[in-house]
Every structure is written in C-alpha cells, then in structure tokens.
Structure 1
C-alpha cells in the first residue's frame, strides 16, 4: 500500500496520541492539528487522503470547518467525530456530505475500520469482483459451448452485461481484457446460432420462437395493459440492454419495476425495419404487401418511419382491440418540452405511445463529431452519457410529473447497437445500400465466412426490392466497407456504434414494465 496521509483535527489531540501511534504502526502517515483554522491552512498546502474532524471545537466548529473544506472544492473524504448524538447535528453533517461519522469515545479499531472502508473500498470491490468473475468465467464458458437455445442466449447476455458493468466499477484492465475476450467469443457463437435458426423463426408454423419485434405488442405489451389506469408505452430508440440497466435506477426513483425481460429485434436491426415491425405487428415483407404506398425500401425516396401511428391503428383493428390511444414522437428538444407540457392530457387515454429518439441520435452524432468520440469512447462511457442524458431529459421530467398518479408504464426499444472494429470488404453496384451493418442489392460480392447472406429475402421476412436482390448482414463487430476509399472509411468508422447486423448488443433488447410506487 502506498503511503496514506491522514489529517486528524481535534482540540484534545494530546489525549489521542496512543490512537495516532496505532495508525502509524498500521502504515498511515498522521498529521495532527488542534483547530479548524490550522486545518484549513494545512489543506491549502498539503494533499491528504482522509480528514478525521472533531465536531465540537472552540473557535470554529467541526461543521463550520467542514463547510469551509467543501467551499475550497477539496474532494477529500471527511469523517466527523462527535460526542453529540443529537439528530439535527447528524443530519447537518450528513447533508454536508461527510463520508462517515464516529461517536466519541472512539477506539482505534473503529477508526481503522472507517479508514479501510474509505481508502480500501475500491481495491476490495475490485478484488471481490475479479474473484467472483473468475468463478463465473467457467460456467459462462460451458454455457456458450452447450448449444444454447434462444432463452439461454438471453440469460447469457444478461450475465455478460452484469459482469461488464461490475468490471467497470472494479477498474481492473487485466480482467476487463479477459472479459472482452469471452464476450467476443459469445458474439461469435451467437452469430452462428442466428445463422442456423433465424429463417426458421420467420415461419408461422414454427412452434418454438422468441418474442420478436413483430410480436412484441401481441406477446408482451397488450397482455400487460391495465384496464383500470392509463398505460404508457415508451420506446427509446436504439437502447441497448446495458444502457437500460444504467438508467433503470433513475426510473426506480419514481416507479417500481414489476417485470424486466428481453426480446429479439428482427434483422436488419435498424429503425426502419424493426420499429415499423413493432407498430405494425408484422414482418417487413407483410407490411410492404399490406401498405405498398407507405412502406419505403432503403433505395426509395422519403422518410422510412412516417406511418407508425397508422400501422399501429391497423394492428389493433386486426386484433380486434378497442383501444383509445395517443401517439407522440419526440425528435428534438422542442418536441421534448411539448411532451413535458402535455403529459397530463395523456391521462385521458387508455394507451399512450411515446417514441423518443435521443439514443439513436447520440450514436449517429458520435460517428460524425470528434467531441462525442471522446465523450463516448467505449461501452462504459457510452452508458454513462446515456444515463446523464436521461437524468436531465424532458422524458424524465415528464415522467416525474406522473409519479404521483397511478399509471402502468412499459419501456422498450427497437434495436441496440454494437461498437464496430473489424472491417469487411464488400463490392456492390450503385443500387447497393449504404448501411455499414447490412446491405442489399443485386450484385453483391463478399466473403461468405464474414457475413450472413440471405439470398431469398422472403425467407427472412424481408421485402425484395429487385428480382435478384439479396441481403448480407455483418456479424460480431464487423462493418461493411467498399474497396474505393477503403482505408479512409475503415479508419473513419472504426470504434463507432452501428446497428443493422447480428450481435448480442443489437438483437437482444430490453422490455420492462413498471407501476407507480
């Protein structure tokens, strides 16, 4: 352990000599002072790891000294030591952001325990997390190699997200490297699993298939609606499961999570396909047949998600559901403020659909803007920026306005995204689509080992824009680049978050139901 510096401030410091010697024998460097004024001067000139601060001192009290320390913007942990057990003193100390407090008389082991808790906490958490993951590593390895079905894949991914987030707290680069290797192996096996099973899920005769985009409302949302209270279905575009786990505690301040699950996004895992499928309750090939004017293929002019409300109205009519619903799409900050101002009016509807488009904009902006590449450089910072957005978003403000009302809330997404690292060379004609994680066209040239190819789009529930059209999907962390300007595009897009292809992060996505507390 490197030298830990303690500042102990107490007007009766002489009586604490034996305690100070005890700490010094344990390897701590202790500076002792008798009043708050000297302590403040000392802190201006010296770096310390913890301040032990007597609450009751003549001249300037411990609480006043604490306030001055905070004014100096010193992030040093402060342990308040007090004879006074009065509740208002404790409340004031805790409100002033003390790290811990001890009641006099204190014995040396109490002080030592408090110091260990503060100073060694991160190291102890890291050690415990690392040891626990090492034990879990083997069971995850065995699960990956036991031919998991789609339910087991959802559980594997949830465990991987749990450990990824725990590793982030532990700050152990070596173990994170081990974890990333295991996650990459999981994505490799998952891509093989999807290649073997995806087209069979598209058959209505298939008995065993996961809940997917086009069956989300039928299987997960409609059965969860409460006929006695207003229901809100919020779709946050492009929200990965790990991002959901990051914002879940913010939801939990106002709502109680009663069910949390995952479902599979259809391919391509992009807004145009998966979100239209959610609201229509149909596969894209069926939407195109039923709504030929509204459905737009990638190579056609016009917005690709302009008719979600119409598709949803057709879905409830087809399922013979008598539902009075509202539909709100938030594409920018003004839309968000309008949502905040109008949220109470939505209580008059049985079902309120809110599509919120921030996370998708974040992933696209991150590709284009250097500052966001710095802010969201990896999974951990991408989660952090998502949490920061949600906490300060109009969506959170709007939901807080409903926190005291009895409502039923379902949060879901349309697809996730994956950080791409491995370029895959593809050759196509002018009609080939531009998405980096999937392409369709007539004359695609590619290495079949690097992509999932679907020669007959209808087998994957997809429209066939041209007679000879086929689709290819990038797998794992691959991204599809053309030979012209190849090196430029490879470097430009490496480490950006993309969607449309096959990965755990893009395909296994959250759906959660909450009720008012």
Structure 2
C-alpha cells in the first residue's frame, strides 16, 4: 500500500508533496454502502426500482407499514428513509413523527400523490429532507438519494480536486518573493482552503494544507524580519497599513454627515474567525469591502489597540502620554485611555468636529446596555464599540480544561466564535440598527496562533512572562528562534528599562524559562497565544458594510 509522502528539505524548508500518491491512497478505500429503508404499502409494485437502487450500490430494506418502520429504525442503522405518505394503519406523516422521535437525524424523503400546500408545509415543518410526487421514476429517487447521502462526498471530492489544482499556484506564489500585499493575498487563500477543507473527509489533504501553511509562516517570518523596522520608520515610503494608521486611512474617510458609522473592534479576531461569522453579518448587512491590514509588534492588546486609537506607534504614545502609558511590568490597566488617545488623534488631524461615542464591552451586562441604548447612538457621526469576548476566550482556554476540549483546534475555535457572536448582545444590538441608514466598519487589534514548538529563553527577574514575546535585559536565546530588537526603538517601541531588548517568537513557537521547563512546555502547548510573528497574528481583517435597508 503506498504512503502519502510529505517531505521537508532541511536547508530550504520547502515541502515536496506527492499529491498523486495521496489520491492513489484514497482510491483504495471505497465509500461505504448506504442503507435505505423504503416504507410503502404497495412495495411489491416497486421491486424494479428496488433492484435499480441495489444495482447502483445501495442496500435497500423494504417494509409495508409505518408501525414496522418505526420499530425497524429503533434497532437498525439507516442512512435514508423513503416514506409513502398514504398508507393504511398510520399515515406517512404519523410515521415520520415516530421516526423523528426515535432518531431526529435520519433523513426522510416523503413520496406522495398529494401536492396540496398545507401538506407540504406540514411535511417540511416536520423536517423532511426531500419530497417526491408520484409516480416516481428510478432516476428521481436516485437523484434525491445522491443529494442527501452523496452530497458531502461529492463536495469533498470537488474541494480536494480544486485544491490539487491550486496547490502549485500557491507554491509558486510562496517562492516568488511576495511583497506585503502578496502576503495578504496568500494568507487569504490559505484561509479559504482551510475553511473549504472542513467539507472534506481527507486527513491526507488537510495534512498537506497544514504543511503548506507552515511553510508560508516560515517564509513570512523571514520577510517580516527583513522589512519590519523599515515599515515603522516615520520616513517610510513603502509600507502596509498598520495599526497606528487604521483610523486615518480605513475608518475616518467613510464618515459622511447624516450616515452614522459604527466601528466595531472585536479583540483578538483572526481572519478565519471573521469568515466564520461573516454569514451572520450578511443576513442584515451588505459587505462592501473585505480587506486586511497588519498588526504592529508585539501583536498584543496593550500595544496594538493603543496604537489604533492613538494613531501612533507605542514609542510615540509613551513620549506624548507618559502618565498614561504602561509597560508590561508596570502596575495598572494597560488599555484604560483609549478614548483619550482617540480624542487626541482627532485633534492632531483637525477633525474635532466629529461627534463620537466610545463603548468598551467587558461583561454581558455591558452588552445588554448596548442593546438597550443603541438607537440613541444614531445621532453621532461615529460610534466606537470595543468587544472583548474573543480575547477572553483565548485566555480562558489556556486556563480551563473544559475550554481546551471545546476549542481543541482552529476549526472548533472558529465554531465557538460563531456560536458566541450569533447569540451575543453585539449581534442583537446591530440587528436593531440594520434597518437604518448606517455603515459598519469591523476590525480587530491582532490575531492569535496555536503554539506547538517550545523555545528556551533565559532572563533576569525583570524579564516579562509573555509566551510570544518578551522584553528585558540580558536575554539569552537561540537567534534562529526569534526576531530580536536590541534597540526597541527600531521597532517603534519604548525602552522599558536601560538596555532592554525585545524578542518575538516565530511561526508556532512559544518562549519558556528553564525553571520548571517541561511543565510549562506541556501546559501551554496547543494553546492560542498572541504577541509574536505569524500570518494569523499579524494579518487581520478590516471590513466595510452597509445596512441592507
């Protein structure tokens, strides 16, 4: 039996993948036979159709009444029930109800002569998967079964084939020295395929995609290491839009009189998490632009979010607001002055005429107040809403075993984010203004990455405890494991203490001290962290929407 080959060259880091081997491996495992239960009091007249389905590979069990059908599904696994609507004894709808009581998830296809609207409404309300009008021919039945049983397999096969075709294009893009716009495009494509692969049942293809994503992050780290200091140079002539420029270039230009803008900042929201909640937004709002921008380093709330609202790099914030700025090791809250920073940014830009409100949602009660008061905000030009749930989820997941189980990987992390937003006060509040003439700009301060590779760092007592970045004096580390700035000002950062330097973890790495090293390595492995250099942390969404009303 062939094995799927995923090889990494030790020097270049490039991945060689034998996609043909993967497909050959998959072809050796045929799809399992689906079992059909067909309940019809005239089943003898349908023997030719039964034989047709069996020839197509289905196993077909036949029964002549609803009572026996309900008993059968209690004791047997069934993939689809074909159910006659008109039978003696109990009707098809009564049988349907009995089957759903036994197993709600069994797909049922109702076969009927009756096309009346109230029957169809009742049947659809009883959660049938499809219905057919008599007389039915074998191909009608086959098509219905394929829609129900084979749909997932057909979608998975199409996804896998499409990714196979796109694989080399992505591979070439990674090796074509992309600029910062190119990296944003590559990351969006990787996220697209990661979401598409959820439709596939192929662990081999998911492994290939993850290998390609790892290769991309390795190359992205080298790219950021080479260019970051030039990006944050005040004299830079070629740089991406970053946290400190977000309002100037991506929010304030959308203000217009009589059309309030709601700027929604969901803390620690990755691009793939945005894609998970996008369909919920799309129910009420029309998405005009879906872009990305670069979070500054460290990709941590106190740096990125303060930079967003101040419109300044952290070294400039500390200079102008020395009383308000807090370094990692300083006491007190690190994001207590965002509204003050934003007011000062408007003043520097001579936009003091803008009427704005600022709301930070930290607790459910804060969210309910937003729901109750959101109509009062329609008189403002700009309404800023900072929502902290995703960041709290990330930190709680690290500490709580139950959340580690619920959000064990990226797919489940996205699922929890979607479930939260769907039932959140933020969603309720936004639906209340969806019929008004408003604009929405949704963004975040940074993303997060699931860490897997531990790196040892030695420092003195003043070294910070962050897992994805650290600053302090006399730091000892492997140079290949981190991006290091001996002079923090080269990265636009303040100098916390004399001779302090900053280091940032690469890809999926996390930084641990030698003390009790193995314990912390195991405790934090596979947790979602932020502060370092990765596509997931640095390339984050900025989305413009308008109400459909």
1:207 counterpart (237, 253, 265):
237
User: Matched residue of 1:449: which SS?
Assistant: helix
Q: 2 CA distance for matches of 1:198 and 1:225?
A: 31
Q: 1:146 aligned to 2:179? A: no
Q: Would you say the 8 A contact 2:284–2:434 is kept in 1?
A: yes
Q: 1:303 aligned to 2:337? A: no
Unpaired segments ≥5 residues, structure 1: none
Q: Would you say the 8 A contact 1:213–1:278 is kept in 2?
A: yes
Show the counterpart of 2:454: 423
Show the counterpart of 1:51: 81
Q: 1:504 aligned to 2:535? A: yes
Displacement after TM superposition at 1:456 (Å): 1.3
User: Matched residue of 2:480: which SS?
Assistant: coil
Q: 1:97 aligned to 2:97? A: no
2:516 counterpart (480, 485, 488):
485
User: Matched residue of 1:120: which SS?
Assistant: helix
Unpaired segments ≥5 residues, structure 2: 1-30
1:229 counterpart (247, 252, 259):
259
Q: 2 CA distance for matches of 1:103 and 1:430?
A: 77
Q: 1:314 aligned to 2:344? A: yes
Displacement after TM superposition at 1:114 (Å): 1.4
TM-score (normalizing by structure 1): 0.98
Show the counterpart of 1:446: 477
Show the counterpart of 2:18: none
Show the counterpart of 2:220: 190
Q: Would you say the 8 A contact 1:418–1:497 is kept in 2?
A: yes
TM-score (normalizing by structure 2): 0.92
User: Matched residue of 1:135: which SS?
Assistant: helix
Q: 2 CA distance for matches of 1:82 and 1:169?
A: 33
Show the counterpart of 1:374: 405
Greater alpha carbon shift after TM alignment, 273-282 vs 226-235: 226-235
User: Matched residue of 1:16: which SS?
Assistant: helix
> Alpha-carbon deviations, 1:7-43, whole Å to 9, x = none?
1112322221211121122222212222222221222
Displacement after TM superposition at 1:130 (Å): 1.1
Q: 1 CA distance for matches of 2:71 and 2:354?
A: 68
Q: 2 CA distance for matches of 1:465 and 1:308?
A: 20
Show the counterpart of 2:379: 348
Counterpart mapping for 1:247-258 below 5 A: 247-258=277-288
Q: 2 CA distance for matches of 1:457 and 1:297?
A: 13
Q: 2 CA distance for matches of 1:226 and 1:73?
A: 55
Q: 2 CA distance for matches of 1:352 and 1:303?
A: 23
Greater alpha carbon shift after TM alignment, 359-368 vs 15-24: 15-24
2:57 counterpart (17, 27, 45):
27
Q: 1 CA distance for matches of 2:62 and 2:489?
A: 78
Displacement after TM superposition at 1:93 (Å): 2.1
Q: 2 CA distance for matches of 1:76 and 1:370?
A: 33
Q: 2 CA distance for matches of 1:171 and 1:337?
A: 40
Greater alpha carbon shift after TM alignment, 98-107 vs 412-421: 98-107
Q: How many residues align?
A: 517
Q: Would you say the 8 A contact 2:73–2:102 is kept in 1?
A: no
Q: 2 CA distance for matches of 1:3 and 1:245?
A: 35
2:468 counterpart (403, 428, 437):
437
**Which contiguous aligned blocks of 4+ residues in structure 1 show a shift greater than 3 angstroms?**
none
Greater alpha carbon shift after TM alignment, 387-396 vs 190-199: 387-396
Show the counterpart of 1:18: 48
RMSD, aligned α-carbons: 1.2
Q: 2 CA distance for matches of 1:274 and 1:281?
A: 10
